[in-house]
A and B are shown apart, each in its own frame.
Chain A
Amino acid sequence: MKILIVDDDDFALELLGSALSGAGYTDVTAASSGEEALGAVAHTDTPFDIFLLDIQMPGMDGIELCARLRKMAQYASTPIIMITAMQERRFIDQAFAAGAMDYVNKPFDPIELGVRISLAARLSNQAKKVDAYATEAASLKARTGMGAAFGVDEPIALRDVPRVISMTAMENYLLRLTYWMAIKSQSVVFSIPGFREIHARIDPSDAYDILSDTAAAITVGFKHTDHLVTYVGNGQFVVVVSGKNTVIGPETLWSIEANLEQDPPLLSSGEECPIRLVMGEVFSPGIWSAPNRLNLLLRPLDADLSPAGSGAEERARIW
């Protein structure tokens, strides 16, 4: 497992190196700035499997470095763990929005770091399989015009949509929020009614585009807020908004639907694909119910949202 650690402090680099070595990871490269890290990435023969980035560094900070790495196709899904002494939520939110998968606090506990790296290593292996699968799918699409299938309930990662993060990253984000941060959040689920039928009828790459366009419309609907979005499968999206002052109501849904009407997803046949959404109840946790698990956010929706409505039947006819 090849790991790149980036921190502007020599002592922190030495400690990280020792902790990783103690956890059995010895193929570690150290860089003391964002610029140096990009140099290491450019010159390495074999790609890195995991990145550990300090957030606060002079010059290019860890958040910018994370965003730059994510733009490289090779590192689109490589685990990136941020290291931060900053407890302020905005830094953590920015890091996840830039593509971080997890974070550890400074001063770090070597045992906790080892555990998080082991989890990241497992994710790295999964990411490699997903990338191989994506390459295969792209090749299949080029040859046959058909993309590779993904399961309707699969929480696939929607890349290249700002503020849309993978389900794993969202789970880590929610788990790592402190109690006080968590109770200052609101969350809501949006669902594409009848997605199961839609998914069964169309090309997988069209299904991916529908999800990606819907996620983009959702982020535009929340553009004035500090928010993160993830896709959890079955045509459902979870939005977590920082702060309790944002009003999430029918107007939010109308605004998102207006975005989708104005710029509807296009199928590979060239047809426009009208999408409607259903919005779940806004979950604004009380003092005893901080939402630190994604399944707690989703549970109320299972009952509230029917899998298919009249809109779904109408679309099923179109396709």
Chain B
Amino acid sequence: MNDLSKNQSAFDLSIAAVRKKFADRAYEQSQQLDALLDRIETQPDDQHALQSVLQIAHRIAGVADTLGFGRLGELARNAENLTRTAIEVNTRDAIGATIQVTDALIEELDQIGQDTPLDEFGG
């Protein structure tokens, strides 16, 4: 095995470990988002809750694709963009769109938390 292959294998193993940790924390993130959505549904102009959704979605969007969670990454990017818009324009429609996409994000996180396919990274 040459150096390049060794590095690639080491990287794959390390990605598998991070992916496992991420999946373990998916349920926790889903719970956080769920609680924030409850607050937004009760009080749609809760800027603090919207900012928190934005921050969580931004973080997920930053790593999901690299960890092999492509659909999650796409949903997180959508949630990030729509939440940013909702914060800027603060309209009922924009907040409704944020709630809808964040719901889909929660569903995907729950799915990942329950069933983490690690085989493609050898984990």
Contacts and interface: CB of A to CB of B under 8 A. Distances in A.
Contacts of A21: 7, 10-11, 14
A285 B117 CA distance: 47
B7 A107 contact: no
Contact of B58 (A15, A24, A56, A110): A56
Contact of B64 (A7, A19, A107): A107
A18 interface: yes
A12 B59 CA distance: 8
Contact of B73 (A7, A11, A107): A107
A85 B66 contact: no
Nearest to A88: B84
B66 A110 contact: yes
Interface residues of B, number: 23
Nearest to B25: A11
Contacts of B61: 85, 106-107
B64 A15 contact: no
B41 interface: no
Contacts of B11: 18-19, 21-22, 110
A8 B22 CA distance: 15
A18 B62 contact: no
A14 interface: yes
Looking at B14, B21, B63, B73, which has the most chain A CB atoms within 10 Å of its CB?
Answer: B63
B63 A18 contact: no
A11 B22 contact: yes
A208 interface: no
Contacts of B73: 107
A15 B7 contact: no
Contacts of A19: 11
A156 B63 CA distance: 38
Given A85-B58, A106-B61, A15 B66 contact: yes
A7 B77 CA distance: 18
Contacts of B8: 22
Contacts of A22: 7-8, 10-11, 14
A298 interface: no
Contacts of A107: 61-66, 73
A112 to B, nearest CB: 11
B18 A85 contact: no
Contacts of A24: 3, 7
Contacts of A56: 58
Given A15-B66, A18-B11, A18-B14, 18 more contacts: A8-B59, A9-B62, A11-B18, A11-B59, A12-B62, A14-B18, A15-B18, A21-B14, A22-B8, A22-B11, A56-B58, A58-B55, A85-B61, A106-B61, A107-B62, A107-B66, A108-B66, A110-B11
The 8 closest A-B pairs by CB, nearest first: A22-B11, A107-B65, A18-B14, A106-B62, A9-B59, A107-B66, A22-B7, A11-B63
Interface of B: 3, 7-8, 10-11, 14-15, 18, 21-22, 55, 58-59, 61-67, 73, 77, 80
Interface of A: 7-9, 11-12, 14-15, 18-19, 21-24, 54, 56, 58, 85, 106-110
17 contacts: A8-B59, A9-B62, A11-B22, A11-B59, A11-B67, A12-B62, A14-B18, A15-B66, A18-B14, A18-B15, A22-B11, A22-B14, A24-B7, A54-B62, A85-B77, A107-B61, A109-B66
